[in-house]
Chain A
Amino acid sequence: MSAALDTLYAAPIREHARNPRHRARLECADATARGDNPLCGDRVEIFLTLDGARIVQASFLGRGCDVSQASADLLAEAVRGLDAADARALSARVRQMARSGEGADAMGALGALAAAARFPSRVKCATLPWVTLEAALDGAREASSE
């Protein structure tokens, strides 16, 4: 068994992909965006409710591989209660980590996404929900992994 493969599909990723906690539409969302990966067809929609600049609730809908869907579920968990500026900063750090593979230790559960760095073609799977989050916060309705 390949060790890299086991880290990409480590227990938390598989658990979030198979049994997501935040897969739902928020009917009363204040901000929402849809992100597409045009190459593989992965899709993620992010829903946020806001209290001023603070994210109160976050959820997602989507279809795609385990990595993109687990990343979306982890995202929804992580950004609840954050100010928009902090959520953006977190998003930048997650995207950097998924590209470089570095900094996982300081990221808690999100650290599992660092394994994507060992699979260059899979980095965009991990980052698609995060670019979609940034689009939602920017008031853009659509985002693309490209």
Chain B
Amino acid sequence: MMDGIAHGYDVARIRQDFPILSQGVRGRPLVFLDSGASAQKPRQVMDAMRACMETAYANVHRGAYHLSELATENHEAAREAVRRFLNAARAEEIVFAGSSTNAINLVAHSFGRGVLKAGQRVLVSEMEHHANLIPWHMLRDSGLGIGMGVIRVTDAGELDLDSLRAELAKGDVGLVAVTHMSNVLGTVTPAAAIARMAHEAGARVLFDGSQAAVHRRVDVQALDADFYVFTGHKLYGPTGIGVLYAKHELLKAMPPFLGGGDMINTVTMDGFTWAEPPLRFEAGTPPIIEAQGLKAAVEYVEAIGMEAIEAHERRLVEHAMRVLPEVEGLSILGAAQDRGGVFSFALDAAHPHDLSTFLDSRGICIRAGRHCAEPLHARLGHEGGSARASFGLYTTEGEVDALAGALREARRFFA
């Protein structure tokens, strides 16, 4: 099942970095096609977290002793690694949050309540993950007079830019909050064009890069993103850490989200003054060990090269687009021109849940359900959900073939 070195990309060698991939499932090789939900971890990430605990662990920003200073230095080095990864202009623009979900909630609270004005609206698309939908519902429902609007999705599963244009033309949009890559359809959205359109209409733009940052090189300056979020565990890093990038001028203007230690300058019993960004937004002890894991993850993908990873995934997507449509009774959701390694599909003979259980018996892990995107499934006429296969940098063409073969078997089993 292991593919050789194709196009200079040594996937067999890469797979050796991921201990879990050599595990069997009930005597069969593990075929892990659920990286879009959470990716597996390379040894380099585990080693970095262990080294942090074994040699350089103390609380950060708090101790006047060597070990704490060392831990603080390492923590800030992790911030610098993320800055480089996103090509942000300065490290202070990188805020560590618990996850993408936390990062978006931070923006909804701090920017939403502190900067947006009554009468302004937030635009979201029909293909958002609930993490980039519910925080805006909550803001709308908080009685501050902030509204919402919807960017439509075409039948092909692409953003309908005409509907974005029409919404922006109403002149009341304060923020456009859209995914950079759909976790259901794999659609990559034209982020630079969206940012340009939003800015021309006087709106800010937030990209949910939870999926995109894993599959493509992201340059927040080239995109002219105002906010960009991603989550560590999908980027082969640990759980418990996510990233909010925001332009410095925006962070400067935003009030804190959570209150506690680290986010203050001076405190009396009567009140406090805010710390400067990014600490203003990092109340409490941060994810110290996780930051070292995330740094190692970023360095890991950069060592392989985001361009090489993207090229590998393009080949996988092309391969999948050849072999999956040949499976009788299979329909793939969406047909975007620009798509990454995420496929949702339905098989005529089996409900996604039954299909997932069947594939599991063949050692194949996929996701079944609505993938935290209930409105999108309703939009596409798949209220009952879909099955999803998602690829990582370690996925092989052989694994895609194994999926296609097992889907054929499933069709016979459930016929």
Contact = CB atoms under 8 A, between A and B. Distances in A.
Interface of A: 2, 4-5, 8-9, 39-43, 63-67, 119, 121-122, 125
Nearest to B28: A2
Contacts, number: 48
19 contacts: A4-B361, A5-B357, A5-B361, A8-B357, A9-B354, A9-B413, A40-B368, A41-B370, A41-B377, A41-B383, A41-B384, A41-B385, A42-B353, A64-B353, A65-B354, A66-B354, A67-B354, A121-B357, A122-B357
Contact of A41 (B26, B357, B369): B369
Contacts of A4: 361
Contacts of A42: 353, 384
A119 B359 CA distance: 13
B358 interface: yes
A64 B351 contact: yes
Given A2-B26, A64-B384, A40 B361 contact: no
B374 interface: yes
A67 B353 contact: yes
| Interface-central residue, B357, B369, B370, B384, by most chain A CB under 10 Å | B357
B354 A40 contact: no
Interface size class of B (residues with CB under 8 A): 10 to 19
Which 4 residue pairs of A and B lie closest in terms of their CB atoms, listed nearest first? A65-B353, A65-B351, A2-B361, A41-B385
A64 B384 CA distance: 6
Contacts of B414: 9, 66
Contact of B351 (A43, A66, A121): A66
A46 B56 CA distance: 59
Contacts of A8: 357
Nearest to B413: A9
A70 B358 CA distance: 17
Nearest to A68: B353
Nearest to A2: B361
Interface string B166-187: 0000000000000000000000
Interface in B352-397: 352-354, 357-358, 361, 368-370, 374, 377, 383-385
Interface in B385-413: 385, 413
Given A5-B361, A40-B368, A67-B354, 9 more contacts: A2-B26, A9-B414, A40-B385, A41-B385, A64-B384, A65-B352, A67-B353, A122-B353, A125-B353
The residue among B350, B353, B358, B413 with the most chain A CB atoms within 10 A of its own CB is: B353
A121 B368 CA distance: 11
A86 to B, nearest CB: 30
